[in-house]
């Protein structure tokens, strides 16, 4: 006869161990996130331009950095005055020494938190004897390339593909005013530029306002790409950075840097400040639309759940780069749940759930399938979590499409185009 008491005690011990691991992981991740945020803010203050350039070449920077990476970055800082935040006077040697000491302490705390978490996870794996699942990437979706939809063919509340946005901004370029409205002349001065340089920079200010206030864009990566394509310069050039810096310093834009641990990626986000909204209305004689980041904050607790906010914005940004029109938090009649996103390309119109976990209630996927004509459509965080979620849908006999952020953010953003696949798995 089976010893049920022993089995129960053994299971209880395993449950307690798993719960302890979860608690430690949560605390470690919170500490990890706080420490990384301090490091990112410090790096932006002292050499934000270089950090942004590194991040553009590798979107996983600086989230994937360890202590040595941070140490090397700060050792290469030439002068504090190069950061995003203006520093009137360079700090003296004592201040620099104190800052280096604080950075070293933060690096040590970060390493210790990561080591503690790694050791605790190892203990749980040994105790529970959980098999390791190796996820192999497969390309099982037939890619039918359809031209990105023209503006007149998509709903007015949607944002078109990035290539269509660029085409539109090129057409609008000649219609923008060449000077700032008198009431705002003290807000944006042009940064000391004169002549043709002054005319060009004001044109670029208005383009950024238009991209945020009309097309609802938020990520600096996408804003710079659209701006660069429109005016014919490199997206990584210093002049593109300085346009956004000027507008940030003038309090026309509100900025925040969000980071996601898995997959490790960072997005620098912008939305119009109250002053920016007034300037937009003065320029374009109409009120600005709420951009995607603002909409997530207002309707989806975006400030409370920054990782999910980043994930939704990253997915829609990559969908637009790949030729899809998008909408964040689309309004859907006769349903209590609001999908995270909606995408459109040709005849394909899909409601998408962006899921950061590896497990979700089956009822959620069933409800979503109703919106998509019987299919589930999801964006997972990693290849592994995508495999788990797809497996759950298959067990419930729900066909669908899936992708994941880990695969989407791999590689350089500027090299993605409308022929790059958005969906990485399809099943019936």
Query: Where is 426: in which H helix or E strand?
Result: strand 425-427
Task: Please confirm whether the linkage preceding 255 is cis (ω < 30° from 0).
Answer: no
pLDDT at 273: 97
pLDDT at 105: 66
Report d(CA 51, CA 59) in Å as an integer.
11
pLDDT at 17: 67
Extract the tokens encoding 399. 């066909």
List the chain pLDDT tens, one digit each, 428 residues.
444 444 555 566 666 666 766 777 777 777 777 787 788 878 887 887 788 778 777 767 887 787 778 877 887 776 443 333 344 444 455 656 666 666 666 666 666 565 555 555 444 433 333 333 333 344 455 555 678 899 999 999 999 999 999 999 999 998 888 778 888 888 888 888 888 888 899 999 999 999 999 999 999 999 999 999 999 988 777 888 899 999 999 999 999 999 999 999 999 999 999 999 999 999 999 999 999 999 999 999 999 999 999 999 999 999 999 999 999 999 998 777 789 999 999 999 999 999 998 777 878 899 999 999 999 999 999 999 999 999 999 999 999 999 999 999 998 999 999 999 999 999 99
Counting beta carbons within 10 angstroms of the beta carbon of residue 302, is it exposed (0 to 12), middle (13 to 18) or buried (19 or more)?
Answer: buried
pLDDT at 31: 73
pTM above 0.85, yes or no: no
Contacts of 87 (CB under 8 A, 6+ apart): 45, 80, 81
Distances in Å between the Cα of 163 and the Cα atoms of 170, 231, 288, 408 are 11, 14, 21, 18
For residues 260 and 307, the answer to whether their CB atoms sit within 8 Å is yes
Which is nearest to 390 in space by CA: 131, 22, 138, 128?
138
For residues 343 and 161, the answer to whether their CB atoms sit within 8 Å is no
Contacts of 246 (CB under 8 A, 6+ apart): 188, 190, 191, 201, 205
> What structural domains and CATH numbers belong to the chain?
4-128 (no CATH), 136-158+297-428 (3.40.1350), 162-289 (1.10.10.10)
Which of left, alpha, beta for 129 (phi over 0: left; psi -120 to 50: alpha)?
A: left
Report d(CA 290, CA 110) in Å as an integer.
37
Going along 325-393, which residue ranges are E strands? 325-328, 341-345, 348-355, 376-380
pLDDT at 4: 46
Q: Which residue has the tokens 């940064």?
A: 191
Which is nearest to 191 in space by CA: 230, 150, 248, 232?
248
């Amino acid at each position: 006869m089976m010893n049920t008491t022993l089995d129960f005690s053994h299971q209880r011990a395993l449950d307690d161990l798993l719960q302890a691991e979860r608690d430690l992981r949560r605390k470690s991740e919170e500490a990890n996130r706080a420490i990384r945020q301090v490091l990112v803010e410090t790096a932006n203050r002292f050499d934000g331009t270089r950090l942004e350039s590194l991040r553009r070449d590798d979107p996983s920077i600086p989230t994937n950095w360890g202590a040595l990476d941070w140490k090397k970055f700060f050792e290469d800082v030439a002068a504090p005055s190069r950061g995003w935040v203006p520093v009137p006077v360079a700090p003296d040697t004592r201040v620099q020494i104190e800052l280096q000491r604080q950075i070293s302490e933060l690096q040590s705390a970060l390493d210790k938190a990561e080591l503690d978490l790694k050791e605790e996870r190892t203990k749980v794996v040994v105790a529970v004897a959980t098999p390791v699942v190796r996820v192999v990437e497969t390309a099982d979706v037939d890619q039918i390339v359809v031209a990105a939809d023209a503006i007149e063919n998509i709903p007015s509340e949607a944002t078109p593909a990035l290539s269509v946005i660029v085409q539109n901004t090129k057409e609008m370029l000649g219609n923008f005013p060449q000077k700032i409205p008198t009431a705002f002349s003290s807000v944006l001065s042009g940064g000391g530029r004169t002549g043709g340089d002054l005319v060009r920079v004001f044109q670029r200010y208005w383009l950024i306002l238009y991209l945020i206030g009309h097309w609802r864009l938020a990520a600096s990566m996408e804003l710079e790409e659209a701006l660069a394509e429109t005016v014919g310069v490199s997206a990584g050039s210093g002049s593109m950075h300085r346009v956004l810096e000027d507008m940030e310093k003038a309090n026309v834009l509100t900025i925040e840097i969000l980071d996601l641990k898995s997959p490790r990626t960072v997005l620098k986000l912008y939305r119009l400040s109250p002053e920016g909204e007034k300037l937009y209305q003065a320029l374009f004689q109409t009120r600005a639309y709420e951009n995607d980041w603002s909409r997530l904050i207002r309707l989806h607790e975006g400030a409370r759940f920054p990782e999910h906010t980043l994930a939704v914005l990253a997915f829609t940004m990559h969908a637009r780069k790949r030729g899809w029109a998008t909408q964040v938090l689309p309004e859907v009649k006769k349903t209590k749940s609001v999908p995270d996103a909606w995408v459109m390309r040709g005849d394909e119109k899909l409601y998408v759930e962006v899921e950061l976990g590896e497990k979700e209630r089956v009822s959620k996927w069933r409800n979503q399938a109703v919106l998509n004509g019987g299919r589930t459509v999801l964006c997972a965080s990693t290849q592994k979590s995508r495999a788990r979620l797809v497996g759950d849908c298959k067990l419930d006999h729900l066909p669908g499409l899936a992708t994941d952020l880990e695969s989407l953010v791999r590689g350089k953003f500027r090299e993605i185009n409308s022929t790059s696949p958005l969906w990485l798995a399809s099943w019936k």
